[in-house]
Structure formats: C-alpha cells, structure tokens
Amino acid sequence: MSTLLKVENLSVGMRGSTGVVVPVLENLSFAVEAGRTMALVGESGCGKSMTALAIMRLLPEDFVVTSGRILLEGEDILSASPKRMRSLRGNGISMIFQEPMTALNPLFTVGDQIGEVLRWHSGVGLAEAEQQAIALLRAVQIPAPEQRVKAYPHQLSGGMRQRVMIAMALAGRPKLLIADEPTTALDVTVQAQIFDLLADLQKETKTAIVLITHDLGAVAELADDISVLYAGRCIESGDADSVVSHPCHPYTRGLLDCVPQLKLGPRPPQAWSDLAEIAGMVPPLGARGPDCAFLARCREASELCRSRLQPALEPITDDHAVSCWRKSELAA
C-alpha cells in the first residue's frame, strides 16, 4: 500500500496579542496509508483538532503553521493555492465534524447539502445530484432515504444527523476522511452503529481515515495505528494492538486505566476502589517548557527526567515508538 497522507515535522503556533508565537503543535509526524485508519488520541487541549484543521487548511485566524510539510499523495498541501484547496476539500480530503447540528446548515435540506458537494466536484445536475444523495443516504443506513433527502437537519435525530455528515463527507469520494470525535455526541448504541458503518464503508472504498478521539479504549478496534498526543507533542505511536495492549508511556497507561471498563458475567459484589486517575491537567498554551510535557503529572518521573529536555520519539520495537526517558525500564 502506498502512503496517502504524510505529515512531516508539523509545528503549529498561535500568535498572541503581543506578537509572540506560542507553540500549539510541535514536530508532529505520522503517515496514513490508503484503506487504513490512524487514530489521534489525547485529552482536550492536546492538539488533536488543530492537527485536523491544519490538514484541511482550516486553521483559525491566529494559528499559523510554523514548520513542516503535509503531503497528500506527494503534493504539499501547505503550499497549494486556495483554488487548489477548494477542489481538494471534499474530493481529496473531507472531514466529519464533532457537532452535526452546528456543522449542518439549518436552512437547507440534507439533500441540498449533500448535492452541493456532488454538483461542485462532479458537475452533475440537480436531479442527478438528488438521486446520488438518496443513494448515499441509503449507504449510511438511513431508513426511507427518498423522504429523508427532503428533510431539514432539525427534523432528524442526532444519530441521523451524524450519518448525514458522513454521507456528505463521502459524497466526493475522498481519499482521506478526517473524523473529529464523530461519536462523542451520540448514544452508545448509535456509537457502535457509526463505528461499524465507518469500518464497512472503508472496506468498500479504501478510504484512509484519521480518527480523532479522547477515548483510547473505544478506538482500539477500529484503528490500525495510534498516535497519542500530549500538550501538542506525540508521546507514543505505533501499531494499535501494540499501543493498547503494551502501552509504554505513563500517559498512555493512565488514559487506558482511568476508564472504567464494563465487566460482564457473574462477579461478586465489590466495594468501590478508586479509579486510577491522572492528577492535574494538560498545561495551558504558553506554559509548556522545553522539558518533558508530562513531567508535572507523571507518577514515574525521576530526577533524570527533571534534568533533561523533552525526549525524542524513539522506537522500542519495529512498530512502536515512545517519547519517554524511562521507556526501557517501563517497557520491561
């Protein structure tokens, strides 16, 4: 498989009121192949959504790419013209946003909104666009698509709106789909359906998916590769099985441990035992020093960690890399 998206040493900064550029993302590198799924995992404020917006070239006004390259099939999209970007969005890359209610236009029917993508990119007429929109709605398992195509977003449930978002994102047959917390706003039963749907569609279309989430456990099944971000830095990355079953960085371990996993079958009634927690919170922008970003919250931190800079992301096995000074001790 060829590499579809390649992000190399991407750094993004925020221009403050005084003109100082505060780092938001630092030296982020990853690659996604066609037909595979890459998950970006971390808490709020770790830079997951900023990565997605940088790839879409939709960064908010004060945010600038300070270094690095983003290559889509070898083409550097950071230097692409606005016109080229318009034709890439929807066709080459598309994005499913977190909140379908705010991402859909309340004044147009879902058919119009899906049709817009089709008419823009494949130049089909109104009638043909509606037919294709119906087919897309059927593909994302919306019942009675012939009627639903004429519905406005407020007439649909949250799960249906998210399916419409997916249909819209897939309308231009993108090579890369970015899904930013696509199921956070949804019920668990609907979540499971949406993940299954994404996996099925991916099998058919060979679309590459970049999946953004804060719940590491939830993506374990869907993702092929995982990158864990912390405070704008990638601190662990590798094969999904390897990262989830042998997490090495204390932050990744913390993320996995702090989620109460559902346990099925007969068990003796148990008294409450405190959940493992990661004390403190992600350092805010501008308060990130040159040393290991996780230092202040790390239970494993030693004197050694305090005296050095942010460790490099170095491999511990062929398909698993960790940025931690104590990785060899912790991996053992």
Partner 1 sequence: MTTLQAAAPPDSSEFVLNVNDLVVHFEAGRKRPLQAPSFVHAVDGVSFRVRRGTSFGIVGESGSGKSTTAQAIMRLVPATSGQIVFGERNILDLTGKGLREVRKHLQIVFQDPFSALNPRRRAGEQIREPLDLLGIGTPGERDERVRRLLAEVGLPPNAANLFPHQFSGGQRQRLCIARALAPEPDLIVCDEAVSALDVAIQAQILNLLKRLQRERQLTYIFISHDLGVIQQFCDEIAVMYLGKIVEQAPAATIFAEPRHPYTWSLIAAAAPPGPTREALKQHYLVKGDPPSPVDPPPGCRFAQRCPSAVDQCRKSLPLQESIGTNHYVACHRAAELLPPSFDG
Binding residues for partner 1, per CB under 8 A?
43-44, 141, 143, 157-160, 187-193, 196, 214-217, 220-221, 254-255, 258-269, 272, 274-279, 281
254 and 48 in contact (C-beta within 8 Å)?
A: no
Which residue's CB is nearer to partner 1, number 116 or number 215?
215
Report d(CA 209, CA 202) in Å as an integer. Answer: 8
Q: How far is the CB of 323 from partner 1 (least distance, A)?
A: 18
162 and 185 in contact (C-beta within 8 Å)?
A: yes
Which residue's CB is nearer to partner 1, number 30 or number 195?
195
Region of 55 on the Ramachandran plot (φ > 0 left; ψ -120 to 50 alpha; else beta): alpha
Which residue's CB is nearer to partner 1, number 199 or number 309?
199
Order of strands, edge to edge, in the sheet holding 21-33? 21-33, 3-15, 63-72, 75-76
Which residue's CB is nearer to partner 1, number 19 or number 269?
269
How many C-beta neighbours within 10 Å does residue 147 have? 11
Q: How far is the CB of 132 from partner 1 (least distance, A)?
A: 23
Q: How far is the CB of 52 from partner 1 (least distance, A)?
A: 17
Q: How far is the CB of 211 from partner 1 (least distance, A)?
A: 15
Which residue's CB is nearer to partner 1, number 109 or number 193?
193
Q: What is the largest distance, in Å, between two alpha-carbon atoms of the chain?
A: 68
Which residue's CB is nearer to partner 1, number 55 or number 255?
255
Which residue's CB is nearer to partner 1, number 272 or number 318?
272
Q: How far is the CB of 293 from partner 1 (least distance, A)?
A: 14
Q: How far is the CB of 19 from partner 1 (least distance, A)?
A: 24
Report d(CA 300, CA 269) in Å as an integer. Answer: 32
159 and 190 in contact (C-beta within 8 Å)?
A: yes
Q: How far is the CB of 122 from partner 1 (least distance, A)?
A: 30
Helix (H, G, I), strand (E, B) or coil at 261: coil
